[in-house]
Amino acid sequence: MKKLLTIIALLGACVAGMAQIKLSVHESATGEPEIPAEIFGQFSEHLGRCIYEGIWVGPDSSIPNVNGYRTDVLEAFKALKVPVLRWPGGCFADEYHWMDGIGPKENRPKLVNNNWGGTVEDNSFGTHEFLNLCEMLGIEPYISANVGSGTVEEMAKWVEYMTAPNGSMAELRAKNGRKEPWKVKYLGVGNETWGCGGDMTAQYYSDVYKRYALYSRNYGDNKLFKVACGASGGDYDWTRTMMKNAKRQMDGLSVHFYSVEVWEQKGSATVFTPAEYYNILAKTVEIDEILRNHIAIMDAYDPENRVALLLDEWGTWYDVEPGHNPGHLFQQNTMRDAIVAALNINIFTKYVQRLKMANIAQIVNVLQAMVLTNGPEMVLTPTYHVFRMFSVHQNATRVPVEYNAGTLMSETGRVMESFSAASSRDAAGAIHVTLANPLLDKPVTVELAFDSLKPKTVTGEVLKAAKVNAYNDFGKAPAVAPAVLKDIKKSGGVWKVTLPPASVAVLEIK
Ligand code: AHR
Measured distance CA(174)–CA(166) in Å, rounded:
10
Question: Measured in angstroms, how far is the CA atom of residue 90 from the centroid of ligand 1?
Answer: 5
Question: What are the percentages of helix, strand and coil residues in the chain, rounded to 5?
Answer: 30, 25, 45
CB distance 140 to 185 below 8 Å: yes
Query: pLDDT tens track of the chain, all 510 residues?
Result: 334 344 433 433 344 456 899 999 999 999 999 999 999 999 999 999 999 999 999 999 999 999 999 999 999 999 999 999 999 999 999 999 999 999 999 999 999 999 999 999 999 999 999 999 999 999 999 999 999 999 999 999 999 999 999 999 999 999 999 999 999 999 999 999 999 999 999 999 999 999 999 999 999 999 999 999 999 999 999 999 999 999 999 999 999 999 999 999 999 999 999 999 999 999 999 999 999 999 999 999 999 999 999 999 999 999 999 999 999 999 999 999 999 999 999 999 999 999 999 999 999 999 999 999 999 999 999 999 999 999 999 999 999 999 989 999 999 999 999 999 999 999 999 999 999 999 999 999 999 999 999 999 999 999 999 999 999 999 999 999 999 999 999 999 999 999 999 999 999 999
Catalytic residue among 38, 95, 160, 313: 313
* Nearest Cα residue to atom 9 of ligand 1: 90
Predicted local confidence at residue 15, as pLDDT = 41
Q: Hey, which of 46, 255, 313 would you mutate to test ligand 1's pocket, going by the most ligand atoms within 8 Å of its Cβ?
A: 313
Closest CA to 301 of 240, 259, 366: 240
- Upstream peptide bond of 368 is cis (omega within 30 degrees of 0): no
Question: Measured in angstroms, how far is the CA atom of residue 62 from the centroid of ligand 1?
Answer: 31
**CA distances (Å), origin 359, targets 10, 56, 184, 356, 446:** 32, 20, 17, 10, 30
Index of the ligand 1 atom closest to the CA of residue 258: 4
* Nearest Cα residue to atom 7 of ligand 1: 90
Question: Measured in angstroms, how far is the CA atom of residue 203 from the centroid of ligand 1?
Answer: 22
Measured distance CA(227)–CA(224) in Å, rounded:
9
Index of the ligand 1 atom closest to the CA of residue 329: 2
Closest CA to 352 of 423, 417, 407, 406: 423
Q: Hey, which of 196, 255, 257, 360 would you mutate to test ligand 1's pocket, going by the most ligand atoms within 8 Å of its Cβ?
A: 196
Per the annotation, the verdict on 321 as an active-site residue is no
Measured distance CA(21)–CA(403) in Å, rounded:
7
Q: Hey, which of 91, 121, 318, 330 would you mutate to test ligand 1's pocket, going by the most ligand atoms within 8 Å of its Cβ?
A: 91
Measured distance CA(337)–CA(258) in Å, rounded:
12
For residue 257, give the DSSP letter: E
Q: What is the DSSP string of 141-209?
A: EEEEE--SS--HHHHHHHHHHHH-SSSHHHHHHHHTT--SPPP--EEEE-S-TTTTTT---HHHHHHHH
Cα dihedral across residues 242, 291, 267, 118: positive or negative = negative
Closest CA to 312 of 68, 69, 87: 87
Predicted local confidence at residue 3, as pLDDT = 41
Question: Measured in angstroms, how far is the CA atom of residue 25 from the centroid of ligand 1?
Answer: 37
Measured distance CA(55)–CA(68) in Å, rounded:
8
- Count Cβ neighbours within 10 Å for each residue of 208-244 and write b for 16 or more, e otherwise: bbbebbeebeebeebebbbbbbbbeeebeebbbbbbe
Closest CA to 282 of 420, 391, 404, 463: 420
Per the annotation, the verdict on 289 as an active-site residue is no
CB distance 491 to 483 below 8 Å: no
* Nearest Cα residue to atom 3 of ligand 1: 90
Pairing of strands 407-409, 41-43: unpaired
CATH number for the segment(s) 2-31+400-509: 2.60.40.1180
- Upstream peptide bond of 88 is cis (omega within 30 degrees of 0): yes
Closest CA to 339 of 406, 421, 430, 438: 438
* Nearest Cα residue to atom 8 of ligand 1: 90
**CA distances (Å), origin 243, targets 210, 351, 395, 492:** 12, 18, 27, 53
Index of the ligand 1 atom closest to the CA of residue 92: 6
Closest CA to 219 of 272, 163, 172, 167: 163
User: How many CB atoms sit inside 10 A of residue 350's CB?
Assistant: 16
Measured distance CA(476)–CA(31) in Å, rounded:
48
Catalytic residue among 160, 192, 276, 417: 192
Distance in angstroms between the alpha carbons of the first and the last residue of the chain: 51
Ligand 1, CB within 6 Å, residue ranges? 45, 89-91, 191-192, 313, 361-362, 367
Measured distance CA(115)–CA(113) in Å, rounded:
6
Measured distance CA(463)–CA(59) in Å, rounded:
36
Question: Measured in angstroms, how far is the CA atom of residue 257 from the centroid of ligand 1?
Answer: 10
CATH 3.40.50.880 fits 37-396, yes or no: no
CB distance 283 to 414 below 8 Å: yes
* Nearest Cα residue to atom 5 of ligand 1: 90
Long-range contacts of 71-78 (CB under 8 A, 24+ apart): 72/373, 72/378, 73/364, 73/371, 73/373, 73/378, 74/136, 74/137, 76/370, 76/371, 76/378, 76/380, 76/384, 77/137, 77/139, 77/363, 77/370, 78/137
Predicted local confidence at residue 19, as pLDDT = 87
Give every strand in the sheet of 458-463, ordered side by side: 397-399, 420-425, 431-437, 503-509, 458-463, 483-484
Index of the ligand 1 atom closest to the CA of residue 45: 6
Index of the ligand 1 atom closest to the CA of residue 91: 6
Predicted local confidence at residue 328, as pLDDT = 98
Question: Measured in angstroms, how far is the CA atom of residue 76 from the centroid of ligand 1?
Answer: 23
The strand pairing partners of 6, in sequence order, are 409
* Nearest Cα residue to atom 4 of ligand 1: 90
Index of the ligand 1 atom closest to the CA of residue 191: 8
Domain ranges of the chain: 2-31+400-509, 37-396
Question: Measured in angstroms, how far is the CA atom of residue 487 from the centroid of ligand 1?
Answer: 41
Question: Measured in angstroms, how far is the CA atom of residue 45 from the centroid of ligand 1?
Answer: 9
Domain pair 2-31+400-509 / 37-396, same fold: no
The strand pairing partners of 372, in sequence order, are 379
